[in-house]
Amino acid sequence: MHFQSVTFDLDGTLLDTVADLAEACRLMLDDLGAPQRSVAEVHRFVGKGMAVLVERCLTWETPPTAERLQAGIDAFKRHYATVNGAQAVIYPGVLAGLAAWKASGLKLGVVTNKPGMFTEVLLERTGLLDYFEVVVSGDTTTHKKPHPEPILHACRLFGVRPDRNLHIGDSENDILAARAAGSSAYCVPYGYNEGKPVDTVDCDALVSDLLAAYRQALTHKTA
């Protein structure tokens, strides 16, 4: 196989976490006396990290003040720490796909915009943590996806050149980060894509699930 390592997005790629995120948002908005958001709205707001999720929830005609945004972030952190993983669901094909990738001997990692205080806890609660050698969270590096630094950081930890890494995600953020890092990019059609159809994203392969991604990688051709 061309690849030596694979990095995976977390929310929307490995796990459906929108129920937990929506519950934390509901409790946060209740604390602040703000109008509630639907689960569909929260689904659309996910993708660029916790602070952006909270800001989007609190934005109506105008964005929230810095003080109100910080109050929202603090409340969200408190509530999400309690509900994190409670209703999270592993997507179909994830366990079979991770088992295939692991058996191939490739180095596996997670690259997510989720804050570190929630990432490994979530992976452990859902039984996925042991699949991964490297976990890069939204606050591990200075920048989040779509900046390439999180993927580049994972590659440095792996000791693998970025062009021998494959990144798999569910949104344009993942594809842009992989492209900028010099890694190949596969995309799954489910998950959280901020309302932009995933088939408009310029990825190397659109795959139905992680097991299909593994099979696709076996025949991957470089340019």
Catalytic residue list: 9
Residues 28, 72: contact at Cβ < 8 Å? yes
- Smallest Cα–Cα separation from 52: which of 71, 73, 37, 68? 73
Helix (H) or strand (E) holding 206: strand 205-206
- Smallest Cα–Cα separation from 53: which of 112, 127, 133? 112
- Smallest Cα–Cα separation from 98: which of 110, 113, 87? 110
User: What secondary structure does DSSP assign to 112-165, as a single string?
Assistant: -SS-HHHHHHHHHHTT-GGG-SEEE-TTTSSS-TTSSHHHHHHHHHHT--GGGE
Residues 165, 190: contact at Cβ < 8 Å? no
Q: End-to-end CA distance of the chain, in Å?
A: 15
3-state secondary structure of 21: helix
